[in-house]
């Protein structure tokens, strides 16, 4: 769709980086100041809902989502992972896969809730350093899928 930002498939360098791209989906590491390691799995074609996909397409996408979750857990060892497909603003299927920590800016709320606290700058910086290992881990996790 002409006016859909996820159809355009261009990413400004300050928004994040494409980690992996397949025929149907791509995986983005989002440059989020509060939640380092925030990833997004995006369906390439413009489709609004998961139930608009075939069973096989759905399975494929969820396999990628959980491969990303696995890599995030392996690299960052978060207290929780949040997985969500909302799309109220951009109705083009994309899954947010987000490492959450007890001391992150929104914990225990959702990543879209009110800020609850400020994370220590040194802690955030250490997480950002770890996140540099994430692209390689995600690529390896996807490559290892049957």
Give the residues lining the site for its own copies (CB under 8 A). Answer: 48-51, 58-59, 62, 66, 69-70, 73, 80-89, 91, 100, 107-110, 112-114
In the complex with its own copies, which residue's Cβ is closer, 61 or 124?
61
> What CA–CA distance (Å, rounded) separates 87 from 116?
24
Give the chain's radius of gyration (CA, Å).
15
Q: How far is the CB of 37 from its own copies (least distance, A)?
A: 15
In the complex with its own copies, which residue's Cβ is closer, 8 or 80?
80
In the complex with its own copies, which residue's Cβ is closer, 11 or 83?
83
Both structure tokens of 56: 């096989």
Give SS3 for 11: coil
Give SS3 for 26: strand
Q: How far is the CB of 20 from its own copies (least distance, A)?
A: 18
Q: How far is the CB of 2 from its own copies (least distance, A)?
A: 20
- CB contact at 8 A, 41 and 65: yes
């Amino acid at each position: 769709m002409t006016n859909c930002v996820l159809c355009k498939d261009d990413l400004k360098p300050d928004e994040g980086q494409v980690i992996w791209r397949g025929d149907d989906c791509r995986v983005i590491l989002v440059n989020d100041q509060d939640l380092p390691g925030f990833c997004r799995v995006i369906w390439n074609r413009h489709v609004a809902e998961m139930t608009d996909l075939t069973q096989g397409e759905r399975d494929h996408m969820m396999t990628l989502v959980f491969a990303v979750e696995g890599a995030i857990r392996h690299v960052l060892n978060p207290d929780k992972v949040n997985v969500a497909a909302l799309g109220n603003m951009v109705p083009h299927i994309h899954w947010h896969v987000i490492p959450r920590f007890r001391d992150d800016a929104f914990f225990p709320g959702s990543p879209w809730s009110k800020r609850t606290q400020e994370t220590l700058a040194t802690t955030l910086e250490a997480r950002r350093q770890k996140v540099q290992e994430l692209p390689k881990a995600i690529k390896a996790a996807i490559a290892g899928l049957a």
